[in-house]
Amino acid sequence: MLTVLALAVLTLAAAWSVRGAANARWARNTALPEIKRLVAQDNYVAAFALAKSAEPFVSGDAEFASLWPKLSVTRSVTSNPSGAAVYVRDVALRSDWQLLGYTPLDRIRIPAAVCRWKFDKPGFEGRQFIATPVGPWAVPAAFDLTPAGSLPPDMVKVPAGPLQLTLTGFDYNKMIPSDQFLIDKFEVTNKAFKEFVDGGGYEKREYWKQPFVKDGHPLTWDEAMAAFRDQTGRPGPSTWEVGAYPQGQETYPVGGVSWYEAAAYAEFTGKSLPTIYHWLRAAGTQGAADITPLSNFGKHSARPVGQSPAVTWVGVSDMAGNVKEWCWNEMEPAGNRYILGGAWDEPDYMFIYPDARSPFDRSATNGIRLVKYLKPESAPAATLALIEKPTRNYANEKPASDEVFRAYKSLYAYDPAPLDSKLERVEDSSDKWRKEKLSFSAAYGQERVPAFLFLPKNTKPPFQTVLYWPGSGAVRARSSDSLPDAAAIEFLVVSGRAVLYPVYYGTYERNSGRDSTWPEMTHAYHDWVLKQVNDARRSLDYLATRADVRQAAIGYFGISWGSRMSPVVLGQDSRIRAAVLASGGFSPGKAPPEVDPFNFAPRVTVPVLMINGDRDFIFDVQISQNPLFEVLGTPSDRKRHLVLEAGHGVFIEKRSQMIREALDWFDRYLGPVQ
């Protein structure tokens, strides 16, 4: 009996051994190459799922372990209350839901990509939303669950936070604090608007609180009401007949309403038209590249609400496409009202473009989504004001002449002076780099410029070195100790290049009181830029003193603000030999000519690679990106404009492709790293 039992055990063990060996071969020979292929395509969610499946069979495999930092980040996720199931899936719905676990989740791996998230717990409202792995739109570390039935039907809560004008052409840096508020999960439907019509909404003056003004002329009540008729002359939207919506379209969004009708309906429901600020906070136009492909654009008609797989970072449906949505604010000069989101018959870039129409406009594409402010004072006063749409047509402008440019350039001149550089501390714990915190004398006043020098550990000096200029988040941060965007330069150091990251004037602990990098026609802005550009040039002075730096192989890497400001540096300092500009372009705002990148771009002659997203809400392809690329003085065979399917966060959304292109560019023009 024991012999038979022993034989059975041995047979089972052999079977498990054979199966284990087969699984190990599958993991190494099939899964690993496929994971690499998926990462190269920026399909991190699929790569993440495959890596989780393969991980048990390749424990201790160094090659496999090296892939995790490329396809995932580590986060902790909790919920209040705990015990919520947390799932992720691909934004484009190419994958199934993956269960990450139940809250609290402590330092778990999540895909290094924009994902669709889902939180589920019995007795609480389920939530689905889109979130980035890091940054301001990242999945919240602490997620508040809402008890089922505690909110008005079909409304979701938008967390407290900064309100910004995240639309093409506007200064997105200026922020207005906001309390939490509620917003409709779906557009107002025909069925819901019918309740307003049947309830005498067009007869009860108490709902119509705004004075009627058309083309600058006031209208009487009767004159205005005569305009708000359906196709048969009855009160109602312009798309209805006999006071009723088309048969079978009760769940379609109402269309054909004016701003006045939308405002009256808001009064009827006890809600409000959203300000442009509140609408944008809920819409998350920063995620346009992941939202618009799933939205109802370029079609022949609207579709029923709730059918769209496109949701925002707070889980709101169809803010992109379907019908345009009236907002409270007037456009400066006064008259037209903003209507945002784009419609089914428009191109998808309208999600990130401002639009404004006469408040009497009753186009079929005009719809409604409402908000509910949770405090008596309603929306902050600053959000209710008129908003001017900034415009700047670079095609109608000419850069400064050579003579005038020489005068501009002379403003940046400074006397040679000792750098008095000091090494303040060294961090050597990373296996990728040695980080030196140093400082040197500024080119102005008695100030010093702190800087961080990242030296690679996988190559030997003298190093190719890249000067980095960060995005505008550095202006709002108050300490450089953590360098929150250090991850953006990691790929350069891993490639074997050193990176110098100065703490520019106005950033981090050197903040000068300004919280926006947006240009303005002031002497204060003039001084601000002059100091920053000379910090960059003084940083090049410092690199010239380092024996471990190859002086003939210095590059420039800028992200967003750093890309926008690059011509002012590249156009007057020949020590930089090649540049990569990510998510940049000319600003729609105007600056004093002596600090305007437009006047410096024609003087740029070094090789330049621009990498942009086609749905960038800050630097639009036609308005901002192309004008910069076209006016650069670099010969056409030494400049390239790569436009990827992404938004402003191209570094997150197309990380692998961007890294590959950037390194290839520096390899070509600075030379391969030895």
Per-residue pLDDT, averaged over 96-124, amounts to 90
Per-residue pLDDT, averaged over 630-648, amounts to 94
pLDDT at 11 over 70: no
Three-state SS letters, 9-60: HHHHHHHHHHHHHHHHHHHHHHHHHHHHHHHHCCCHHHHHHHHHHHHHHCCC
Residue 512's nearest CA partner among 495, 528, 533, 536 is: 528
Report how far residue 379's alpha carbon sits from residue 274's, in angstroms, rounded to the nearest whole number.
Answer: 9
pLDDT over 70 percentage in the chain: 96
Per-residue pLDDT, averaged over 44-50, amounts to 88
Integer Rg of the chain from CA:
28
More confident residue, 14 or 220: 220
Cβ atoms of 475 and 528 within 8 Å: the answer is no
Per-residue pLDDT, averaged over 157-162, amounts to 90
pLDDT tens-digit profile of 190-205? 999 999 999 999 999 9
Cβ atoms of 628 and 429 within 8 Å: the answer is no
pLDDT at 564 over 50: yes
Q: What's the pLDDT score for residue 673?
A: 94
Per-residue pLDDT, averaged over 405-414, amounts to 96
Counting Cβ atoms within 10 Å, is residue 345 exposed (0-12), middle (13-18) or buried (19+)? middle
Indicate the pLDDT class of residue 559, thresholds 50, 70 and 90.
Answer: very high
Q: Are strands 578-582 and 549-559 parallel, antiparallel or unpaired?
A: parallel
pLDDT at 280 over 50: yes
pLDDT tens-digit profile of 593-602? 999 999 999 9
Backbone angles phi, psi at 217, to 5 degrees: -115, 135
Backbone angles phi, psi at 550, to 5 degrees: -80, 110
Indicate the pLDDT class of residue 13, thresholds 50, 70 and 90.
Answer: very low
Q: What's the pLDDT score for residue 12?
A: 44
Indicate the pLDDT class of residue 136, thresholds 50, 70 and 90.
Answer: low
CA 604 centroid distance within chain: 28
Q: What's the pLDDT score for residue 386?
A: 87
Indicate the pLDDT class of residue 14, thresholds 50, 70 and 90.
Answer: very low
pLDDT tens-digit profile of 494-551? 999 999 999 999 999 998 888 778 898 999 999 999 999 999 999 999 999 999 999 9
Report how far residue 177's alpha carbon sits from residue 620's, in angstroms, rounded to the nearest whole number.
Answer: 26
Indicate the pLDDT class of residue 21, thresholds 50, 70 and 90.
Answer: confident
Per-residue pLDDT, averaged over 135-154, amounts to 83
Indicate the pLDDT class of residue 3, thresholds 50, 70 and 90.
Answer: low
Report how far residue 313's alpha carbon sits from residue 283's, in angstroms, rounded to the nearest whole number.
Answer: 7
Q: b vs e for 161-172, b when ≥16 Cβ sit within 10 Å of the residue's Cβ? A: eebbbbbbbbbb
The runs of H, that is alpha helices, within 413-480 are 473-476
Lowest mean pLDDT among 69-78, 313-322, 477-486: 477-486
Please provide the average confidence, as pLDDT, over all residues in the chain.
90
Torsion of CA 453, 456, 459, 462, to 10 degrees: 0
Q: Which domains does the chain have, with CATH numbers?
A: 2-150 (no CATH), 183-388 (3.90.1580.10), 406-423+435-477+494-670 (3.40.50.1820)
Residue 468's nearest CA partner among 499, 495, 498 is: 499
Lowest mean pLDDT among 340-344, 438-442, 516-520: 516-520
Report how far residue 491's alpha carbon sits from residue 474's, in angstroms, rounded to the nearest whole number.
Answer: 20
Residue 650's nearest CA partner among 621, 608, 613, 617 is: 613
Residue 616's nearest CA partner among 288, 236, 262 is: 288
Q: What's the pLDDT score for residue 378?
A: 67
- Quickly count: other Cβ atoms within 10 Å of residue 670's Cβ: 20
Cβ atoms of 172 and 618 within 8 Å: the answer is yes
More confident residue, 614 or 278: 278
pLDDT at 653 over 80: no
Q: What's the pLDDT score for residue 287?
A: 81
Say whether 68 sits in a helix, a strand or coil.
helix
Q: What's the pLDDT score for residue 2?
A: 42
More confident residue, 674 or 610: 610
Cβ atoms of 181 and 373 within 8 Å: the answer is yes
Per-residue pLDDT, averaged over 377-382, amounts to 77
Say which residues have a Cβ less than 8 Å from residue 611's Cβ, sequence separation at least 6.
Answer: 580, 581, 582, 583, 642, 644, 650, 658, 661, 662
Q: What's the pLDDT score for residue 171?
A: 81
Q: What's the pLDDT score for residue 20?
A: 61
Q: What's the pLDDT score for residue 104?
A: 93
Lowest mean pLDDT among 374-378, 642-646, 665-669: 374-378
pLDDT over 90 percentage in the chain: 58
Per-residue pLDDT, averaged over 39-45, amounts to 84
pLDDT at 93 over 90: no
